Amino acid sequence: MALRTILTVPHPVLKQVSRPVEGGVTDEHRALMDDMLETMYEAPGVGLAAVQIGVPLRIIVMDISAKEDEREPRYFVNPEITWKSDELKSWEEGCLSVPEIYDDVERPDRVKIRYLDYNGKEVEEEADGLFAVCIQHEMDHLEGIVFLDHLSRLKRESAIRKVKKAQRIEAL
């Protein structure tokens, strides 16, 4: 396993639409998911899309258990949302590609999803709470969308300026 670099806004790769995994989940995809998970835990974060480490494939890893000693990693290959609740909920979101910036985003409260797991098995399940927020946030990444795109232009531009400034200071 290896730690990968997480791209930050406004990196152009974060705007790419990720391509589906074709021909099933292979050892190569599993090695990528292992690296993604290690990178996510180290950051630390609760989710990560492959495009955030510069690989525009429809793969997401997640662990919303919030217990360091009892990890519950989850893997989503080619995820699809098959149903969204009409009820919306606002949640304060963060993003490893937009460090130190948090803001409220309104999304469907519950969603049903279909995906392939780590072993390539098809799974269908319903997500609510942080799981619903996180899977929708990560699936946005697969479409080249970051949570800032749900905010006003003023907030988005201010956030990007802050991230760029922090990077300039870090590089000194």
Cβ nearer to Zn ion, comparing 5 with 28: 5
Binding to ligand K1U in span 78-107, by CB under 6 A: 93-97
Of the candidates 42, 87, 125, 138, the residue annotated as catalytic is 138
Q: Can you tell me which residue has the tokens 């909920």? A: 89
**Shortest spacing between CB 137 and Zn ion, in angstroms:** 6
Q: In angstroms, rounded to a whole number, what is the distance separating the alpha carbons of residues 124 and 142?
A: 19
For this structure, is 138 an active site residue? yes
- Comparing CA positions, the residue from 142, 145, 87 lying closest to residue 111 is 87
Q: In angstroms, rounded to a whole number, what is the distance separating the alpha carbons of residues 110 and 83?
A: 8
Cβ nearer to ligand K1U, comparing 47 with 79: 47
Gyration radius (Cα) of the chain, Å: 16
Q: Quick one: which of 95, 111, 132, 135 contacts Zn ion (CB under 5 A)?
A: 95
Q: Could you tell me how many residues of this chain bind ligand K1U (CB under 6 A)? A: 14
Q: Which ranges in 55-152 belong to alpha helices (H)?
A: 129-142
Partners of 48 in the beta sheet? 61
Q: Which does 79 bind (CB under 5 to 8 A by kind): Zn ion, ligand K1U, none?
A: none
Chain residues in the site for ligand K1U (CB under 6 A): 44-48, 93-97, 133-134, 137-138
